[in-house]
Amino acid sequence: MREIIFDTETTGFDPASGDRLVEIGCIELLNRVPTGRTFHAYYNPQRSMPAAAEAVHGLSDIFLSDKPLFAHGVEDLIAFLEDSQLVAHNARFDFGFLNHELRLCGRSEVSMDRMIDTVAIARQMHPGAKHSLDALCTRYGIDRSHRVKHGALLDAELLAQLYIELTGGRQIGLGLAQEEAKDTIRAELAENAAVRPIRPARVFQASAEELERHAAFIATLDKPIWLDEAEAA
């Protein structure tokens, strides 16, 4: 099963009001395991960067001025995404910007059926808790000390670790290891049983002296309970 973890950085919150996508970072997972394949690109938004947005991700007008337009790099992005499920944190935001850019350059939108939202998963697992990427990384012990500012590829790498935790990826691996260990133990027991010599059953019987001592002890008991039951019967 192939899945793509991705994150975006933008000029703001609403593509309908003119905000644009300026960075995308993608991580490939196969069966919930990172393969090492990534996709990362910056794009010139053809508009100015608001100070509030730059404070979040640090991408300035000067930095983005020589970057390609989204339309010029869209083929490489589409080739990387293929038809895989796409995982994002607060995924409707990222899907909204990605599909807006695809529409602008005449490409087909990504179906919402491919969307996996880790915020929705976290809300089901931890109702009432904080569900930001930072809060969930802290909950699951994921190191984010190098996350000084938001960055699409960095956040995708953190999200990949979080997604594996949220979906029980490590537990799945442990379960397989435990089953393999059980199979090994079963094989060893079967092998030992095949070579173990069969001994005749031992007969344990009280001697006459032991029976006599037992009877003498019983005689010293004051109103034993089994006599009461026998009389009642």
Report helix angle 169-195 to 152-166, nearest 10. Answer: 40
Residue 134 annotated as lining a ligand binding site: no
What is the torsional sign of CA 54, 60, 63, 65? positive
* Given 89, 100, 131, 150, the catalytic residue: 150
Q: Does the annotation flag 14 for ligand binding?
A: no
Q: Is 143 annotated as a binding residue?
A: no
Establish whether 9 is an annotated binding residue. Answer: yes
150 part of the active site: yes
Annotated binding site: 7, 9, 57, 155
- Residue numbering of the annotated binding site for a divalent metal cation: 7, 9, 155
Q: Which residues are catalytic?
A: 150
| Binding positions for substrate | 7, 9, 57, 155
